[in-house]
Amino acid sequence: MNLYQSQNLKIQNSLSGKKENFTSINEGHIGMYVCGPTVYSNVHLGNCRTFMSFDMIFRYFKHLGYKVRYVRNITDAGHLVDDAEEGEDKIAKKARLEKLEPMEVVQRYTVDFHNVLQKFNFLPPSIEPTATGHIIEQIEIIKDIIEKGFAYEKNGSVYFDVVKFNKTNEYGKLSGRKLEDMIANTRTLTAQDEKKNSQDFALWKKAEPQHIMRWPSPWGDGFPGWHLECTAMSTKYLGETFDIHGGGMDLKFPHHECEIAQAEASNGVSPVNFWMHANMLTLNGKKMAKSTGNSLLPEEIFSGNNTILSKAFSPSVVRFFMMQAHYTSILDLSNDALLASEKGFNRLLDALAFLPKLDTDTASSFDVKAWKQKCYDAMNDDFNSPILIAQLFDAVKYINLIKEQKETITAEDKTLVENTMYTFVFDVLGLQVKNESQNDEGKLSGVVELLIQLRKQARDNKDFATSDKIRDELMALGIQLKDGKDGTTFSVA
């Protein structure tokens, strides 16, 4: 029996606004799509939080024994500045400003995205498709939507007819909007507008002569609308209806609403059973924005090279901080909050490190089996990681009391606590033990410490030629040894 058969998982479904029992379409398998980054700048910490929430969700599904196909795309074309219908492509704009090929911009920031995610210990998705790699599929969907009467061509561009769609389907059901209200609140169209209705959105845009990212199509040279790529890639890899579609709260409207409209118009069925939305990250109580200076890049936190925080914080501390909030709540990052998380995380790691050394007894004074199920109950309740962490700290308290001989544990229960803690801390929450020797600084100090030992051996053997050689050669490399009464230390110039 797989674990998922004995656990009753509930997920907050944005489509119904309710927490629903989760069952997958194909038993034992899950198809999950998450809208990935538009790779035109360094990945934002807020985006990292969204992807981290879905990484934790992916990890828990896997732990429960599901086979998950997790698709997270890379947007490398079609996303216009300000998410608007007019204007420059975000990647083409960056390419123009930096005098690079658009694909150089894409490559640079895709590499940055992967580097940051690796530091945060993300599991890679099963498929990471790109928009430019699926132009043919996008054109096919447009042809299909036109044929079904839900899209029209105008001057080389193709628009989705929202008003017509709304007559048979419900446009706005995910974001809880009514089309009539949306129309009432928007400006009326002018004669130059190509759209029939102000809410219509572009499936294909005609490329102006200066637009460098362009592809041939039945409607002339152009490029796909931003919303279309996700419909093309999710349908291609996960089918017409799949289990989970995730993304940031800000994508609910219009992006996800348009994805639903495109898929329903093309396939005639609702594309997704569970829509999940992760909430945003603020910094010192305010929205993060590069323009106001109230923003931090992940690298600036790891290096401590910023004016907002008092010190550097490791990726695992930042991850632990993010896991202390439920993914649907707004989370505020501040220096104090990170300091508190660091303290908590270290307390958790200390208890974990001490766990194997605990003395065992003939009886346990703590119901370990009930505690273990409480850990699962927390995650089964819409991936409630803060409640899970509270349960982990109940175990930390118990471990520390056993250490003080105020509580007892049997050998069997000790193994159970150990396995459960390891599973949730490392496999599900994706945290890592900080290993100094993994970075270059750690390696350097390891090597110098080794040379200090060899020098001491040489001196003990009265081989002063060798001991002086080690000291002088290190000095030539800018590493100075200092002999003190507690042994030898070193400093790097």
Complex with Zn ion: residue 35 or 425, whichever CB lies closer: 35
Burial 203-234 (b: 16+ CB within 10 A, else e): bbbbbeeeeebbbebebeebbbbbbbbbbbbb
| Residue 395, SS3 per DSSP | helix
Q: Quote the least distance from Cβ 405 to Zn ion, whole Å.
A: 56
Q: How far apart are CA 94 and CA 215, in angstroms?
A: 19
Cα distances from 165 to residues 29, 245, 468, in angstroms, run: 32, 22, 84
Q: Quote the least distance from Cβ 357 to Zn ion, whole Å.
A: 49
Q: How far apart are CA 202 and CA 261, in angstroms?
A: 12
Sheet strands (E) in 268-423: 272-278, 281-283, 286-287, 331-333
Complex with Zn ion: residue 230 or 338, whichever CB lies closer: 230
Complex with Zn ion: residue 224 or 315, whichever CB lies closer: 224
What radius of gyration do the chain's Cα atoms show? 28
Q: How far apart are CA 77 and CA 58, in angstroms?
A: 27
Complex with Zn ion: residue 327 or 424, whichever CB lies closer: 327
Q: Quote the least distance from Cβ 326 to Zn ion, whole Å.
A: 23
Q: Quote the least distance from Cβ 247 to Zn ion, whole Å.
A: 6
Complex with Zn ion: residue 72 or 94, whichever CB lies closer: 72
Q: Quote the least distance from Cβ 246 to Zn ion, whole Å.
A: 10
Strand 272-278 vs strand 242-248: parallel, antiparallel, or unpaired? Answer: parallel
Strand 67-72 vs strand 222-224: parallel, antiparallel, or unpaired? Answer: unpaired
Q: Under a CB-based contact definition with an 8 Å cutoff, are residues 262 and 231 in contact?
A: yes
Q: Quote the least distance from Cβ 262 to Zn ion, whole Å.
A: 11
- What token pair was written down for 162? 């929202």
Q: Quote the least distance from Cβ 487 to Zn ion, whole Å.
A: 58
Sheet strands (E) in 124-198: 151-154, 157-160
Complex with Zn ion: residue 45 or 230, whichever CB lies closer: 230
* Torsion, Cα of 473, 477, 483, 488 (10° steps): -100
Binding interface with Zn ion (CB under 5 A):
35, 230
Q: How far apart are CA 23 and CA 37, in angstroms?
A: 28
Complex with Zn ion: residue 81 or 212, whichever CB lies closer: 81
Q: Quote the least distance from Cβ 137 to Zn ion, whole Å.
A: 14
